[in-house]
Structure 1
Amino acid sequence: MSFTFDPGDEQGGGVSRSGTPSEPKQYFAGWMLYNRFWFVNDRHAVTLGGGEIINPGRYLVLMPPINGATAASGTPYFTQNAGDPFHAWDWSATCDYLPSQFITMRAEFNRRGASVPYFTGPGGLTPPGGNQGPLGSTVQDWSPDLRKTESRITMALMVKF
C-alpha cells in the first residue's frame, strides 16, 4: 500500500498562498492512495487506487498540446494565469496476470475528472489540416474538444528480455 501527500505554494511576484484581489492564490495540494492485492501464488494481482489535486494558477498542470501548444508557448484555449482554478481527481482498477517472471498481462480501467474542460474529447486538439500558425494560437472557426471527464480502458502485454 502507498499513500502520498504533496503540498506546496508560490509567494511573491504577484501571487500568494492565501490569495487576495491583488495577489491570486498559487498553491498545490495533492494526494494518492494505492493498494495492490496478490492472489493464487502471486500469479494474479489487483491494484486499486486514486487521488486528487488542487492547483489554483495551474502552474503544475501540463499544458494540453492544443494546436501544438507547449508550456513555453501557452494557448488562449487553456490559460495558466495566476489564480486560474484547477481541481482534478482520478481512480483506477488494474488486473494483472503474471504467468511467468518474464510476462505480465494487464487490463486497467481509469476514470478521471477536472473542474474545467481539460481532457481530449473525440474531436481532438488539432485543427483540421494540422497545426496552424504559431504554436498554441487561436484558429478561426475552430475550437478544441476538451471535456471535464475521461474514462479509459487499457490492455497491455509486457515481456521482459
Structure 2
Amino acid sequence: MVKYLDTPGGFVTKAAASLTLDAGCEFGGGVDCGSQYFLGFMAYHRAWFLQDRLALTVGGGAITNPGRYLVLLPPINGTTAASGTPYFTANPGDRYRAWDFQVAADVIPRPFITFRVEFNHRAANVPYFSGPGGVTPPGGNQGAPGSLVDGWSPDLVKTENRLTGALMVKL
C-alpha cells in the first residue's frame, strides 16, 4: 500500500494504491501443491477530491484455485462448509477461476458521514453466483444442509453484477 499524493489545497487532495498477492497450497491426504494451490491478487486505487469531500475507488482482482479448497460453497439448500453439497463440488482437480472489478464513489459531507454508491462485476469459469431462481428450494431448505432435493436444482450463473448504495456513519 502506498499513499503517493497528499495536497490538501489541490483539486485532487490525496491518492493511494494497494496491491495484494496471495499464494498457497495444500498437501497430504492424496493431494499435492501441484494440484491443490491458490494464486490470487487484488489491486485498488483511491483518490480523494475537493478537500476530501469526494472520493473514487477502482480496483479488482483474480484467483485460481484448482480443487476449490479455499472457495466458499454457495449456500445451496442450507449448505455449510462442513456439510458440502453435490451441487457444487470441491474435489481435487475441480478448477475454479474468478475475477472481479469494482468502482465506488463516495460523497463525504462531514468527516464522520459517507454516502457511497458502488458497482461490482464478478465472474467465474463455472456457475457459482446465485441466478434469478436462487439457491433455496421451493418451500425453503429441505433435508440435511446441502442435500439433494428431488426435481430441483439451484440457479447458478457465471457472472454477477451488483449496484449498492450505502450510508456509513462513524461514531
The TM-score with structure 2 as length reference comes to 0.89
Q: Specify the SS of the correspondent of 2:77.
A: helix
- Map 1:77-156 to 2 at 5 A: 77-156=87-166
Unaligned runs of 5+ in 1: 19-24
Aligned residues: 155
Q: How far apart are 1:64 and its partner, in Å?
A: 0.8
Q: How far apart are 1:160 and its partner, in Å?
A: 2.1
2:44 corresponds, among 25, 34, 42, to: 34
Q: Specify the SS of the correspondent of 1:67.
A: helix
Q: Higher mean Cα deviation, 7-16 or 96-105?
A: 7-16
Q: Specify the SS of the correspondent of 1:154.
A: strand
2:74 counterpart of 1:64: yes
What is the match of residue 22 of structure 1?
none
Provide the C-alpha distance between the structure 2 equivalents of 1:92 and 1:160, rounded to a whole number of angstroms: 23
What is the match of residue 54 of structure 2?
44
Unaligned runs of 5+ in 2: 1-16
What is the match of residue 9 of structure 1?
25
Provide the C-alpha distance between the structure 2 equivalents of 1:139 and 1:9, rounded to a whole number of angstroms: 33
Q: Specify the SS of the correspondent of 2:61.
A: strand
Q: Percent identity?
A: 65
Provide the C-alpha distance between the structure 2 equivalents of 1:3 and 1:122, rounded to a whole number of angstroms: 34
Q: How far apart are 1:122 and its partner, in Å?
A: 1.1
Q: How far apart are 1:16 and its partner, in Å?
A: 1.5
Q: How far apart are 1:12 and its partner, in Å?
A: 2.2
Q: How far apart are 1:7 and its partner, in Å?
A: 0.6
Provide the C-alpha distance between the structure 2 equivalents of 1:96 and 1:103, rounded to a whole number of angstroms: 10
Query: After TM superposition, which residue ranges in structure 1, 4 or more long, deviate above 2 angstroms?
Result: none
2:171 counterpart of 1:157: no
Provide the C-alpha distance between the structure 2 equivalents of 1:102 and 1:91, rounded to a whole number of angstroms: 27
Deviation string for 1:51-101 (max 9, x for gaps)?
000000111100111000101000000001111100000000000010001
Provide the C-alpha distance between the structure 2 equivalents of 1:152 and 1:91, rounded to a whole number of angstroms: 11
Deviation string for 1:19-65 (max 9, x for gaps)?
xxxxxx10000000001011111110000000000000111100111
RMSD: 0.7
The TM-score with structure 1 as length reference comes to 0.94
Q: How far apart are 1:148 and its partner, in Å?
A: 0.3
Q: Specify the SS of the correspondent of 1:62.
A: coil
